[in-house]
Amino acid sequence: MSKQPLTLYLAAPRGFCAGVDRAIKIVEMALEKWGAPVYVRHEIVHNKFVVDGLRDKGAVFVEELDDCPDDRPVIFSAHGVAKSVPAEATRRNMVYVDATCPLVSKVHVEAQRHSEAGLQMIMIGHKGHPETIGTMGQLPEGEVLLVETVDDVTTVPVRDPDNIAYVTQTTLSVDDTKDIVASLQARFPKIVGPHKEDICYATTNRQEAVKAIAPKVDAMLVVGAPNSSNSRRLVEVGSKAGCNYAQLVMRAENIDWRALEGITSVGITAGASAPELLVNEVIEAFRDRFDVTVETIETAVENVEFKVPRVLRT
């Protein structure tokens, strides 16, 4: 039986960003430098395939510093950590390497700077996400107020409405965040925001590429993990941009082929923590079932690179 024709629109940019690239390199280089085991606090990036691969090389993933021995190196994940974490590692005389993305660290510095200038901080982010915990943890407990939605803005209990500033998580929906910021500005006209947006270049570019593809495809697949904030935002952006079937898939085996019966076009992208190998796996799965034509839709070109910490370069 001949296969049905299908066009696959590949989003560009997609997949690994500079911060993820650097974080994975840090674990690999730490393993080379110190040998196994090297401990990693939290999934280095939110992708099981990446984590499993590093575990095979000798990385041990734990959730808390308490789960690490004093005498082995520990790496902090790309999402960032509260100030108390490196402080505790130092107290225990541990060797640690911070793989926090420099663009997350930039937000940490911003929060501290505003706070030192006497402004109370509001963070726009998702409760319980490691990046939100890490950023809020740059200041003493209770100092940073969390806002997740436009509704939250109406009730956020600030000390002095004339002396506040906000920071955001780096992986939020650009459009939803605009609405939240507009509400904050309406309630607190003097609120101070970041010089340059906290939502990072990679998040912004991946969402833009999805917007360019989603309206013209029958289905949009985002390669990524359920605990990956930026990947989940890409699914939402796809739906909002007019695609009736936008789904997150970890791997090709997660594709619901029944739901895709009769389709002629599919958009594919990948979250910042999803390896290109998994995108290729998905494309191959489509080739097995359809007569595939691949088209790349490029909405931005990226050339950002981050150096690994000096301790690993020597």
Distance CA 87, CA 48 (A): 28
CB atoms near residue 252 (< 10 Å): 18
- Using CB under 6 A as the binding rule, whether residue 209 contacts ligand SF4 is answered as no
Q: Does 138 bind ligand 2E4 (CB under 6 A)?
A: no
132 binds ligand SF4 (CB under 6 A): no
The residue of the chain with the least Cβ separation from ligand 2E4 equals 228
Q: Which of 6, 26, 45, 255 binds ligand 2E4 (CB under 6 A)?
A: 45
Q: Is 234 in the site for ligand SF4 (CB under 6 A)?
A: no
State the Cα–Cα distance between residues 234 and 173, nearest whole angstrom: 8
Contact partner at residue 46 from ligand SF4, ligand 2E4, none, CB < 5 to 8 Å by partner kind: ligand 2E4
C-alpha 145/C-alpha 309 separation (Å) is 31
CA neighbor of 12 nearest in space, from 277, 199, 218, 269:
269
Q: Is 231 annotated as a binding residue?
A: no
Tell me: does residue 202 bind ligand SF4 (CB under 6 A). yes
User: With respect to ligand 2E4, which residue has the nearer C-beta, 63 or 70?
Assistant: 63
Binding segment (CB under 6 A) for ligand 2E4, from list 113-121, 134-142, 268-276, 301-309: 268-276
Question: Which position among 8, 10, 78, 97 is part of the footprint of ligand 2E4 (CB under 6 A)?
Answer: 78
Helix axes 229-240, 201-213, angle to 10 degrees: 30
Interacting residue with ligand 2E4 among 18, 20, 241, 268 (CB under 6 A): 20
Q: How would you classify residue 231: left for phi > 0, otherwise alpha for psi between -120 and 50, otherwise beta?
A: alpha
Q: Kindly give the pairing relationship between strand 164-168 and strand 219-223.
A: unpaired
| Spatial contact of 210 and 272, defined as CB atoms under 8 Å apart | no
- We find the least distance from the C-beta atom of residue 131 to ligand 2E4, in angstroms, to be 5
Given the rule CB under 6 A, which residues bind ligand 2E4? 19-20, 45-46, 78-79, 101, 104, 131, 170-171, 228-231, 271-273
